[in-house]
Structure 1
Amino acid sequence: MSKRSENYLRLIKIAIDTNNLKKFSGSSVLVTGGTGLIGTSIVDIFIYLNEKLNKNIDIFVASRNYEHLVKRFGDVCEKEYFHFVKYDATKKINFNFQVDYIIQGASNANPNLYIKKPVETLMGNIFGLNNILDYALRQKTKRVVYISSSEVYGNKPEGRNKLINEEDFGLVDKLNPRFSYTNGKRAAENLCIDYAYEYGIESVIIRPGHIYSSNISKGDNRAATDFLRCAYEDRTIEMYSSGNQLRSYCHAIDCASAIIFSLINGKNCQAYNVSNKDSVVTIRQFAKEVARIGQVNLICGKVNDSNGMEYSALDSSKLENLGWHAVVNLREGIKEAIADLN
């Protein structure tokens, strides 16, 4: 196994058992964005299935840098079933191997870079997915799962008080480079459907909520990540907003299990929210829980609520009705994230 804590592996086992992921065996899968927040947990689950349950899965992990892969997964990178694939979502691909399934998770997910590199952000989603779908068509891949985002829903009208389902959509400023990520995800989702209807490529779309875990990268500057890092480093958490916005927090292991579950059980051309219904809290409540578990102080600075989505709380009942369930509650998830932070 890769170098992960016993608690992290325990959560993986619970997710596998609860969502019947053991039936995923004897297949091959390509995971792009394999060293990202979600991609890492996806690969970890596949590794666990091989190492602990002998499921004989060929794992192809696409990443820009092999050294990053080794740093993250250690000696597992030398296993016969583990294959490094050099990959850049903004460039053409020429893969010479065939896989049964593809999970397209490669995407810039750093809000700071949305404005600094809006072209790369937009094209990484559209052009990157287009290349993957062309590859899937040539190689007769069984199914592609595209990891989208809750940001596709845009901003909701004031006073909204119900969870967002897959048919809801709000407003997005098309002339603001900040929304290169949002518009790229929206266009990529439509591209999945287009390939399915025109060429018969099976695809499923996953829309995660606010994902967190110990796999956060150093460049990740989202609020939840900053709270966790402060707790890990024994620093005071400082908030610069009211924190009243409601969010769907979901541990990366739960998100990863939902994605793998959808490879087998998701319906073609459907989108599914991924959220833990027991972890729908405000930003302030999340920060308070991080401060309590991490035993650090929480203070509020000058309030600035002018940026970000007003409301982002997802309803995951559509996926739950297929049999998937989140297993990591908020307290347990935050505890893992702080203790095992990379």
Structure 2
Amino acid sequence: MYRKDLKESLDSVLNFEILYGKTFLITGASGLIASFLIDLLFYANETMDAGIKVYALVRSKARAELRFQPLLERPGFHLVMQDVCDPIILKERSDYIIHAAGDGYPGAFRKHPVETMLPAVMGTFRLLEYMKKTKGSRFLYVSSGEIYGSGHQKELVETDSGYVDPMKSRSCYPSAKRAAETLCASYFAEYGLDIVVARPSHVYGPNITDKDNRASAQFFRDVQNGRDVVLKSRGQQLRSYTYVADCASALLTVLTTGVPGEAYNIANPAATATIAEFAETIARIGGSTCRFECADEAGSPEKTPVSYAVLNPSKLQALGWQGCYSIQRGIRHTLESLLLQA
């Protein structure tokens, strides 16, 4: 199933051929999005003789070697062991830099708000300086739909901007993402660097990490471990959900086809649901039961204040990209892959 997802994702990338023979630096390589991207690029090497080289930047060697064990001996795959907040140690020029490092889950926002902010702000600075020095071709910053903040009741387009309380530590994530986007825009304006920004909606898939404590990740683990799916809130927040294979093809389409200095929402218009609907669908497809254990959500340091987070992908679709995965199909593929791992 995973290889089928890789094929379908690859087939959905616009102008993929311009990536043949190129060198990538990808940060946050062991994470949900970046790890699928790397698998996708090496699937292209395997099936299309693409000749792509990847430098995968990670902090944990043990975790990376476990995640990428099948690739460790492949030509063109290299691990770079460092913190993205430090000066980039790689001397070779990278044609494409994809910055996907950083913790994007509520536990990190609560326990480590400073460490949540630094990879976005300082990491982006380090990578842009590396690109400026080595004259890289294009920089893709993987931002987040959380940058839109709260106060919306409509589909969000790239020019929208809502409220984020700068004095709440929970704002560490959206505020840092906003700052990183502005840093990208500033390097584009002042130094002429070719940058594009992608704003994924809520991304899920079988390569969720162990530390990911987002509600969606916990729902999948419940089914994987034979438990009831437990919803610990009323779950009325409405969101765009994007299966990781759709996210990867969208990111590479932005990389190959996006307009320099522009931002693009990543979402599938056929994949919108409340958290409760998402949980119930996971339970139904996984042959489980969905239980509600509503706690008092008021004042929770992990709870997002955003109740409506539906992204409009028209600008991305204008590049020629189309999503392939409905919520039902994405959940089914996720569960099939996870249950094979169990």
TM-score normalised over the length of structure 2: 0.94
In the alignment, residue 49 of structure 2 is paired with which amino acid? N
Q: Root-mean-square deviation (CA), in Å?
A: 1.3
Secondary structure at the residue paired with 1:243?
Answer: coil
Output one character per residue of 1:293-319: Cα deviation in whole Å (capped at 9) or x when no partner.
Answer: 111111112254543121111111110
Identity, in percent, stands at 35
How does 1:88-107 map onto structure 2 within 5 Å? 88-107=83-102
How far has the Cα of 1:269 moved from its partner?
A: 0.8
Q: Residue 225 of structure 1 aligns with which residue?
A: 217
Q: Residue 8 of structure 1 aligns with which residue?
A: 2
Runs of 4 or more above 6 Å deviation: none
Corresponding position: 1:181 with 2:173:
yes
How does 1:76-155 map onto structure 2 within 5 Å? 76-155=71-150
- Give the Cα–Cα distance (whole angstroms) in 2 for the partners of residues 196 and 203 of structure 1: 6
Unaligned runs of 5+ in 2: none
- Give the Cα–Cα distance (whole angstroms) in 1 for the partners of residues 182 and 331 of structure 2: 34
Secondary structure at the residue paired with 2:190?
Answer: helix
How far has the Cα of 1:70 moved from its partner?
A: 2.1
Secondary structure at the residue paired with 2:311?
Answer: coil
Deviates more, 1:172-181 or 1:108-117: 108-117
- Give the Cα–Cα distance (whole angstroms) in 2 for the partners of residues 200 and 331 of structure 1: 42
Q: Residue 3 of structure 1 aligns with which residue?
A: none
Correspondence for 1:56 among 38, 47, 51: 51
In the alignment, residue 239 of structure 2 is paired with which amino acid? R
Secondary structure at the residue paired with 2:333?
Answer: helix
Corresponding position: 1:213 with 2:205:
yes
Output one character per residue of 1:147-201: Cα deviation in whole Å (capped at 9) or x when no partner.
Answer: 00111000125xx1x2111111111110011111111000000000000111111
- Give the Cα–Cα distance (whole angstroms) in 2 for the partners of residues 163 and 305 of structure 1: 25
CA contact (8 A) 1:143 1:201 kept: yes
Output one character per residue of 1:56-102: Cα deviation in whole Å (capped at 9) or x when no partner.
Answer: 00111111123222211223111121111112123232221111010
Q: Residue 190 of structure 1 aligns with which residue?
A: 182
TM-score normalised over the length of structure 1: 0.94
Output one character per residue of 1:28-74: Cα deviation in whole Å (capped at 9) or x when no partner.
Answer: 11110111010011101101110111000011111112322221122
- Give the Cα–Cα distance (whole angstroms) in 2 for the partners of residues 163 and 108 of structure 1: 26
In the alignment, residue 255 of structure 2 is paired with which amino acid? L
Secondary structure at the residue paired with 1:278?
Answer: coil
Unaligned runs of 5+ in 1: 1-6
CA contact (8 A) 1:245 1:282 kept: yes
Q: Residue 329 of structure 2 aligns with which residue?
A: 332
